[in-house]
Every structure is written in structure tokens, then in C-alpha cells.
Structure 1
């Protein structure tokens, strides 16, 4: 890849001592096998279960591993923001610590970036995707929320809420300021990237429900926060008249036609 030679994986981790080791080993092994230069930036989000000790023990086995602490209040969005401030790569992929994301999909993301896209968005709900043991109540809410976002913005992307996406470094800079402090960051980043004119493609991905630990997403707490950030970015799209978009004539705005529903 000419202009994204090193890939950073930002992995927020709160009390993931039980499951973080196989996750890091799996991603490391796959990326090494593919010859992809990478780093694993694990953001320890105020863990109290020995996550820090587990990561320290893995540091010799995995030289690409960097543990950073979340200096902000605890929470997914705060942890991801800390990682986005400290990654060193030319592109960054946000990955869950609970093994719900597939290392093979990160390879696909990297390959699609090499085709010139600014962002690669995975979807769990297109042909070729695989979803294992998704809780039914969460699935229903997911589909309702994503349908609302897709219709409001006129998108082909149907899995905006999934955090597992990949961005070039310039996209992260171009989407500032990032306002979300919670899981709604997963929506703010891709929507801002799209509204601000960065090119993207959508690919099918695999998702597996966690087998260790406890999910940190609290649905009752997040509804208003998701709605706020969705409407905030929509207002930027409608009212800004392109003031925050990339200049015309570059690669921005290009969307892959290979998304399959």
C-alpha cells in the first residue's frame, strides 16, 4: 500500500482480562501472516480486573502491542478517543477486545484502502456477511436505528452503528471535533466522514457474540445520545452548504458500487 503502509488497531478494553489475550494473538498472527505492518494500541479503560497485568505479560510475545491508559472518565467513547490521539499508523481500525470482530476482515479493510478509498465500512447485514448469536432484542433495535439513519442520510450503508470500521489518518483529522463521549462515537465518525466528502466502500464482515466478559453497551442510556449525534451531523449536512467538505477534484465522495444487500 503506497500511502497507508502501517495499520493501527485501536482496541478499547475495560475489564477484558479474560478474553483480551486470544483476541490480540488472533489479530497479530493474521496480520503478520499477510505481511501487513501494524500496531496494536490497547486502551486500558480504567480496568480493575487485571487487564493491565495481562497486557504486560503479552508485551514480549507481541512486540507490536502498546498499552495506553484512558486519561478521561471511563467509557467506550472516551477510550476510543484516547486511542485515536495516540495511534502511529497511516490508517486506523477500531476493533473490539471481545473477539467479536474477525481478523480476516481487517485484512480486507487494508486491501480496500490500497484501492484508494479513504474509509472502509463493514456491514453485518449484506450478502456474504456472517452473524453468530446476535441477541434478538439488540438485533431489532439495531435494524430500526440503522434504517432510520440510512433513510435520513440517503445512504447505501446499512450498518452505521457498528464500531468496526477503518479510516485513513487524514479522515480522523478531518472529522474533528468529535463530540461523542460514549458508544454514539461509532455513529459520529462514519457519518461525519461521509458528510465531509471522504470516499468509502462497504464490505461484508463477520460478527461473533462475546463468550467472555460483559457487554458495556447500555441501550436505555444511549438512545438520546445516538439521536443527538445523528441529528447534529444531519444538520451539518443540510445547513453547512459544504463548508466542512473536502475540495472538489480529489478522491472524496467516491462510493464503491460493490455493496450487496
Structure 2
């Protein structure tokens, strides 16, 4: 059976449509399936729409968080509650074309254990959003040592790979990179990002920046290594300026340049404060991990087959 995990945040207009479209494709292709909607603390009628979908469709399972815990938590909650032999993750807005799930499923039947959905095109985006997204993926690729330029959360994984992900104790998990990091027999499928038919994107430039910082720090130590590199470069600069100062001193010339001194103090002070900021972010993440709080709390779970309060 194929389980399809669908995180949903303020997607009241898409729940019934997504259920109808995906169910129609799976039934036409005769693929046994379940739809696992995870309501991530939505402020609209998303949960009510999930309940309605479960009443109409026996393939629908709904999970409601006690509050908003974020997309990563919603994905992992869906993975943990899915019952299929293979599990796919896709967006609720149908920007991930559900027809591609069929191709992914057939590749899984051939023995592949991780089938990555990679973007052939990103669809219509503003220039600012495209530029910030491009910068984000470049930073992520360098930090995690995985090509993230066309990566997405749209993928299908064998139960074995999913269990490997769920066995990781870390709280700040980055699904998009971890699903590649676990290994197993992997292939990819290209897809074109579709335009939203209802609602609007939840990803602003600022949310992308926060997403990038959180996941880079949670997955890689690259920023800490960059601090070391910056420290070495600053040391080399100090050595050069020190030699220059000594040469002028022994030559009987007073060292001039009050403006230069001020600029150096500002540069070094800024570097120190930025370095402390990066270290502070890592300490905060360590603090979160040490507390060991759950990734999420489930307030309610329903199913077209059975209902649990």
C-alpha cells in the first residue's frame, strides 16, 4: 500500500479537491493507497474539511496538532502514522503533480527505496522570491554537501528508509536533506511545479531565511567552520598590518591613519558579534535537543475506517 502524507496549514480550499484528484488517480491506476492529512495548527477550517473528507472517503486519515509545530514536524508525524509499505510526501496545494506519484510508485515496485522528486521548473515566482530561493539552495548545498538546487519535499520512500528516518532522535530534523543522507537505493523523477489554483503560498522571503538558518544549523556545522576561516583571515590581516607598523616604526616614521584604525575596529567588532551570534544559534539548538521535547503533540486523529479521539 502507498501512504501519501500531506501536511496542511490553512488549506481549507484545497483539502476536498486534493482528496478527489489524488484518489481518482490512484483508483484509476489500481494502486492501494491512503491519504494522511496532517493539520499543522491551521487557523481556518482546514480540520473541518479533513473531517468532511474522511466521512466521504475511506482512504483518508486526519491528524490534528495541538498547535502549529511547523512543516517538518507535520511530515514526521505523517510518516510515523502512515501504514503503507511505501510512503510519499507531497504538498496540499497540488503544486507537486499527483500524476508523478504513479511514476514514483512504479520505480518503487522495481526495487528503488528512495525516489526523489526534483524540480524541472519552479513555476511562476517573483524576481525577489526566485533570487532569495536560489541563494537559499546554494547555501544549503554548500552546507549539507548535497545538491539541493532542485530538491523538494516531494518524494517516495520505502518503509525501510522511513523507519531509518524515524529512528533518529534529533528534534531539529531537516527532512529534505535527511531523506537523501540515509542512503539506500535511490533514483529521481523530474516534475514541473504547478500553479496554485486556490489560496496563496505560505513562504515569504523572511520565512525562507528563517527556514534556511534553522535547517543549516540543524544539519551542518559549516557556519562554525566559517567562523574559523574568518578568524584565520583576520589573523593574517593583523600580521600584515603588524609587519607594516614595525617597518615604519624602525624607519623613523610615525604610523598614520586614525580612520584606518576606526575601520579595523568596526570590522573586527562586527566579525566578533556575528561569530557570537552564530555560536549562540548553535547553543540554542543544543539546548532544544537536550530538553528532548517531542516534535509535536497530536490533539486528535480520525480515519475513514475508524475514529480515535
TM-score normalized by the length of structure 1: 0.74
1:3 matched residue in structure 2: none
2:197 matched residue in structure 1: 211
2:6 touches 2:90 (CA, 8 Å); kept in 1?
Answer: yes
- Return the match for 1:135 from 126, 132, 135: 126
- Return the match for 1:228 from 209, 217, 230: 217
Q: CA separation in 2, counterparts of 1:194 and 1:130?
A: 20
Measured after TM superposition, the shift of residue 67 of structure 1 is: 0.9
1:123 touches 1:157 (CA, 8 Å); kept in 2?
Answer: no
- Return the match for 2:153 from 154, 163, 174: 163
2:42 touches 2:68 (CA, 8 Å); kept in 1?
Answer: no
2:256 matched residue in structure 1: none
Where in structure 2 are there 5+ consecutive unaligned residues?
225-309
Q: 1:60 to 1:177 in 2, by over 3 A?
A: same
1:171 touches 1:198 (CA, 8 Å); kept in 2?
Answer: yes
- 164-173 vs 192-201, greater mean Cα deviation: 192-201
2:185 matched residue in structure 1: 199
Measured after TM superposition, the shift of residue 70 of structure 1 is: 2.2
Tell me the C-alpha RMSD between the 2 structures: 2.6
- Return the match for 1:144 from 135, 152, 173: 135
1:157 touches 1:202 (CA, 8 Å); kept in 2?
Answer: no
Q: CA separation in 2, counterparts of 1:196 and 1:55?
A: 32
Where in structure 1 are there 5+ consecutive unaligned residues?
1-5, 236-261
1:99 matched residue in structure 2: 94
Q: Where is the helix percentage greater, Structure 1 or Structure 2? A: 2
Q: CA separation in 2, counterparts of 1:18 and 1:168?
A: 31
**Could you list the per-position Cα deviations for residues 181-232 of structure 1 after superposition, in whole angstroms to 9, with x for gaps in the alignment?**
5xxx5xx335334433312111111212323234333123222112213415
Q: 1:130 to 1:34 in 2, by over 3 A?
A: farther
Q: 1:178 to 1:37 in 2, by over 3 A?
A: farther
Q: CA separation in 2, counterparts of 1:151 and 1:53?
A: 42
2:97 touches 2:192 (CA, 8 Å); kept in 1?
Answer: yes
- Return the match for 2:23 from 5, 20, 28: 28
Measured after TM superposition, the shift of residue 49 of structure 1 is: 1.4
Q: CA separation in 2, counterparts of 1:215 and 1:119?
A: 27
1:39 touches 1:64 (CA, 8 Å); kept in 2?
Answer: yes
2:38 matched residue in structure 1: 43
Q: CA separation in 1, counterparts of 2:153 and 2:57?
A: 24
Q: What secondary structure, in the 3-state scheme, does the structure 2 residue paired with 1:59 have?
A: helix
**Could you list the per-position Cα deviations for residues 49-107 of structure 1 after superposition, in whole angstroms to 9, with x for gaps in the alignment?**
11122222222432101111124643212212211110100111111111211111111
* Count, aligned residues: 220
1:108 matched residue in structure 2: 103
* Bigger-Rg structure (1/2): 2
Q: CA separation in 2, counterparts of 1:130 and 1:207?
A: 6
2:261 matched residue in structure 1: none
2:62 matched residue in structure 1: 67
1:12 touches 1:44 (CA, 8 Å); kept in 2?
Answer: yes
